[in-house]
Structure 1
Amino acid sequence: MLGRNKSSSTSGSGQVDTLIGPQVSIRGDVTFSGGLYVEGRIHGAVCAEDGAKAVLTLSDHGFIEGEVRVPVVIVNGQLTGDLYASDRIELGAHARVQGNIHYRMVEMAAGAMVTGRLIHDEMPPKQLSGPTAEPADEA
């Protein structure tokens, strides 16, 4: 059973590799890969490892204060800070976001609240910062 789960992708599978329970409060930055489920509190940045297929789920009672940079983010709780999702963001009915949301694809349920701007990014940030395909002519 463990061997089968190891080969499956965490993106979209709902797999939870790390749980931050309701009695846990973290002060500092969190870097992860796989699935991270937050029922507690994080005061610091939450980032996925470079190139990782990562999913962050913030439960109804979860709270994050800090910048979030994760490919897939599912928010049902409270987030204060800018949010960057290179793949998609799901805002549940109990989501409360104070900050700008940079997204490629967004799903927002009735009742979700955003105090900030929704900024559509056509491509993930890594692709935007790459070299251009056409060389520049110098005169």
Structure 2
Amino acid sequence: MFAKPKQPPIKSLIAQGTRIQGDLLFAEGLRIDGEVVGNVRAAVDGASLLIVSEVASVQGSIEADHVIINGHVKGPVLARQLLELQPKARIEGDVSYRAIEMHQGATIEGQLRPMAGDGAEEKPTLKLAANHR
């Protein structure tokens, strides 16, 4: 009854040391450990998960349902459902999200733009991550 929705599987990996130039369109799950110069977008049909790891960088826009960032992004970010910013996340660009979870140490140089839910009066949720040392 209260189970979390199942995450889509990570089916693609851009490995550390790999550089992609050009736009990417993916389905389900993508993990970036390398460098992408171009826009990264998930298909709108079906759930999507994008992970930008601590060693990764993206120069371009990002769009997916669930976005987890712990690396460097230079461009706008759109998380259609949940945006998770890990401690080493650094975003240079505007951020749009339905729900956000931001850990201490993450930085954003841009505007935060909450997206309205299905109801016009619905407010986005904000989760504060606990400081675990």
Give the TM-score of the pair, scaled to structure 2. Answer: 0.82
RMSD of aligned Cα (Å): 1.8
1:136 is matched with: none
> What aligned pairs does 1:12-51 form with structure 2 within 5 A after superposition?
13=7, 15-51=9-45
Aligned pairs, number: 116
2:52 is matched with: 58
Residue 23 of structure 1 deviates from its aligned partner by 1.4
1:133 is matched with: none
- Specify the SS of the correspondent of 2:9: coil
1:112 is matched with: 106
**Cα deviation 1:99-118 (Å, max 9, x = unaligned):** 00000000000000100011
5+ residue gaps, structure 1: 1-10, 129-139
Letter in 2 for 1:44: G
The structure with more helix, counted as a fraction of residues: 1
C-alpha change, 1:114 and 1:12, in structure 2 (3 Å) is: farther
Residue 78, structure 1, aligned to residue 65, structure 2: no
Residue 50 of structure 1 deviates from its aligned partner by 2.2
1:137 is matched with: none
Greater shift, 15-24 or 91-100, is seen at 15-24
Q: Percent identical across equivalent pairs?
A: 29
1:132 is matched with: none
Give the TM-score of the pair, scaled to structure 1. Answer: 0.78
**Cα deviation 1:15-66 (Å, max 9, x = unaligned):** 3100100011000000001110000000001011122311000000100000
5+ residue gaps, structure 2: 121-133
Residue 12 of structure 1 deviates from its aligned partner by 5.0
Q: Whole-Å Cα distance in 1 between the matches of residues 42 and 54 of structure 2?
A: 21
Asked if structure 1 preserves the Cα contact closer than 8 Å seen for 2:91 and 2:109, the reply is yes
Moved over 4 A (4+): none
The structure with more strand, counted as a fraction of residues: 2
Which of 100, 112, 116 is residue 122 of structure 1 equivalent to? 116
Q: Whole-Å Cα distance in 2 between the matches of residues 99 and 106 of structure 1?
A: 16
